C-alpha cells in the first residue's frame, strides 16, 4: 500500500457501494421472504406437482395401465375419480400424467433452449451472413402456424415420444432464438466483450463466460413461459390424437378420451366434472408457473420498490 496523500486519500478506502456479503442461500431466503403471495402460491403448486411426478408409483393407488371391469365407473371408494372409457382408474392416470406430461415438456423446453439459445448467441456475436441465414430461416419457420406445422411433421415422422420432443423443441426454439439474439446483441456490444475479443478469446468463451451470465434473467423467465406453452402444445396434440400415445397416461389425451362424459353432467355432476380434472391440472400448473415467472421478471427488472 502506498502512503495516503495529504487529503487522506487511499484507493482502498474509496467508498464503493456498501453491501453486506451474503451467501447464495441467504440471498435466496431474502428474496423468498419478500415474494408476493401469488409467487408463493405458484411455488407451492409447482412443488406439489413435482412431488407427485417424482413419487407417482408410490402415490398412485393402481398401475398406470391397469384395466378394471367397469368403464366409466362412478366416483366411489375404490375409484376416487371413477374410471375412464376402458376402465382405467382416473386418479392413477392423473398422477402418472403429471410425470409424463411434465417430463416431456421439460425435456422439450431444455432442448429448445439449447438449440435456440446456442444459435441465438452465435448469431448475436457473429452478426454476418450467418446471422442473416439463421434469422431468416427462423422467420420462415415462424411464418407457418405452429400447431399445424407440428401436426404435419408428426404425420411425416411416426408419432413417438422422441419425435414429439424433437419437433416441438425445434419449432419452439425459433422464439428462444429471437429472444436470445435480441438480448445478446445488447451485451455483445459492451466494452467487456470487446476486451475479451481483444484478448483473443474464442467464440465459446465469449458465449459462455462473457455473454450468457448477463442474459440469464430474461432467459430464465422465458424458460418458465416456454415450459407452459410446450405443455399446452403437447396437451393439444395429445387431444388431437398425435401426441403422447396410449397406454402412456397424459392429461391432454385424458381430456379427449373422457370428453363425452360431459353430457352426463345433467344426471351426475361428478361424472360431468371428470374430463375437466386433467384440464384443471393443466390450467393450474400453467397459472402457477406464470405467477413465479412474473415475480422473477419483476425482481430482475431492476425496478426498485418504492418504500
Partner 1 sequence: MNTNSKMTGVIHSPDSNSSDESTAPLLDMRNVHIEGFSDEKWHPIIKGVDLRLERGQIMGLIGESGAGKSTLGLAAMGFARAGCRFTQGEVLFDGEDILKLKESKRRKLWGTRIAYVAQSAAAAFNPAHRLLDQTIESANRSQLRAENESRKDAVELYDSLHLPDPENIGARYPHQVSGGQLQRVMTAMAMSARPDLIIFDEPTTALDVTTQVEVLASMREIVEKHNTAAIYITHDLAVVAQMADVIKVLRYGEEVEEAETRTMLSSPREEYTRSLWSVRALEKPEEKGEDIVLSMQNIDAAYGRVPVLFGININLPRGKTVAVVGESGSGKSTAARVITGLLPPSKGSIVFNGETLPAALKDRTAEQLQRIQMIYQMADTAMNPRQTVEEIIGRPIEFYHGITGSAKQNRIAELLRMIELDESFLDRLPSELSGGQKQRICIARALAAEPDVIICDEVTSALDQIVQEGILKLLLRLQEEFGISYLFITHDIATVKAISDEIVVMFQGKVVEQGLKSDILSPPHPEYTELLLSSVPEMDPDWLTGLLESRS
Residue 151 CB, nearest approach to partner 1 (Å): 42
Residue 15 CB, nearest approach to partner 1 (Å): 5
Candidate list 23, 191, 204, 269; residue touching partner 1; CB under 8 A = 191
From the list 67-75, 166-174, 210-218, 240-248, the region that binds partner 1 by CB under 8 A is: 210-218
* Total residues at interface with partner 1 (CB under 8 A): 37
| Contact call for residue 302 and partner 1 (CB under 8 A) | no
C-alpha cell of 197?
475479443
Nearer to partner 1, 211 or 289 (CB): 211
Candidate list 25, 145, 200, 204; residue touching partner 1; CB under 8 A = 200
From the list 48-56, 104-112, 190-198, 278-286, the region that binds partner 1 by CB under 8 A is: 190-198
| Contact call for residue 23 and partner 1 (CB under 8 A) | no
Q: Which of residues 45-64 bind partner 1 (CB under 8 A)?
A: none
Q: What phi, psi does 165 have (nearest 5°)?
A: -60, -50
| Contact call for residue 143 and partner 1 (CB under 8 A) | no
Cβ contacts of 128 within 8 Å, gap of 6 or more: none
Nearer to partner 1, 188 or 230 (CB): 188
Residue 34 CB, nearest approach to partner 1 (Å): 9
Which residue in 130, 134, 170 sits closest to 154, CA to CA? 170
Residue 183 CB, nearest approach to partner 1 (Å): 14
Nearer to partner 1, 133 or 216 (CB): 216
C-alpha cell of 11?
484507493
| Contact call for residue 24 and partner 1 (CB under 8 A) | no
Candidate list 29, 30, 137, 203; residue touching partner 1; CB under 8 A = 30
Give the distance from CA 14 to its chain's centroid. Answer: 44
From the list 10-18, 109-117, 127-135, 157-165, the region that binds partner 1 by CB under 8 A is: 10-18
From the list 3-11, 104-112, 148-156, 224-232, the region that binds partner 1 by CB under 8 A is: 3-11
Grid-cell match 481483444, residue found: 198
Candidate list 84, 210, 222, 250; residue touching partner 1; CB under 8 A = 210
Candidate list 19, 25, 69, 269; residue touching partner 1; CB under 8 A = 19
CB 189 within 8 A of CB 158: no
| Contact call for residue 201 and partner 1 (CB under 8 A) | yes
Rounded to whole angstroms, the Cα distance separating 28 from 37 reads: 16
Binding site for partner 1 (CB under 8 A): 1-2, 5-7, 9-12, 14-21, 30, 190-192, 194-195, 197-201, 209-210, 213-214, 303-307
Amino acid at each position: 500500500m502506498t502512503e495516503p496523500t495529504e487529503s487522506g486519500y487511499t484507493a482502498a478506502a474509496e467508498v464503493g457501494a456498501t453491501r453486506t456479503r451474503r451467501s447464495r442461500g441467504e440471498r435466496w431466503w431474502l428474496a423468498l421472504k419478500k415474494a408476493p403471495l401469488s409467487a408463493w402460491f405458484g411455488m407451492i403448486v409447482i412443488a406439489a406437482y413435482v412431488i407427485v411426478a417424482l413419487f407417482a408409483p408410490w402415490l398412485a393407488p393402481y398401475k398406470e395401465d391397469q384395466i378394471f371391469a367397469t368403464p366409466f365407473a362412478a366416483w366411489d371408494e375404490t375409484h376416487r375419480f371413477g374410471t375412464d372409457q376402458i376402465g382405467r382408474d382416473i386418479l392413477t392416470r392423473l398422477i402418472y400424467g403429471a410425470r409424463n406430461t411434465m417430463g416431456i415438456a421439460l425435456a422439450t423446453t431444455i432442448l429448445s433452449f439449447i438449440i435456440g439459445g446456442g444459435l441465438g448467441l452465435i448469431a448475436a456475436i457473429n452478426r454476418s451472413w450467418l446471422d442473416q441465414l439463421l434469422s431468416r430461416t427462423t422467420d420462415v419457420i415462424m411464418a407457418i402456424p405452429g400447431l399445424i406445422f407440428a401436426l404435419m411433421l408428426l404425420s411425416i415422422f411416426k408419432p413417438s415420444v422422441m419425435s414429439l420432443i424433437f419437433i416441438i423443441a425445434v419449432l419452439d426454439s425459433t422464439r428462444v432464438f429471437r429472444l436470445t439474439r435480441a438480448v445478446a446483441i445488447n451485451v455483445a456490444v459492451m466494452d467487456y466483450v470487446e476486451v475479451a475479443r481483444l484478448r483473443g478469446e474464442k467464440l465459446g468463451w465469449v458465449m459462455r463466460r462473457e455473454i450468457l451470465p448477463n442474459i440469464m434473467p430474461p432467459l430464465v423467465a422465458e424458460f418458465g413461459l416456454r415450459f407452459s406453452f410446450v405443455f399446452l402444445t403437447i396437451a393439444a396434440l395429445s387431444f388431437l390424437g398425435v401426441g403422447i400415445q396410449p397406454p402412456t397416461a397424459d392429461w391432454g389425451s385424458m381430456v379427449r378420451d373422457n370428453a363425452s362424459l360431459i353430457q352426463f353432467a345433467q344426471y351426475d355432476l361428478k361424472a360431468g366434472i371428470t374430463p375437466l380434472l386433467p384440464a384443471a391440472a393443466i390450467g393450474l400448473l400453467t397459472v402457477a408457473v406464470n405467477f413465479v415467472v412474473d415475480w422473477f421478471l419483476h425482481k430482475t427488472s431492476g425496478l426498485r420498490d418504492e418504500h
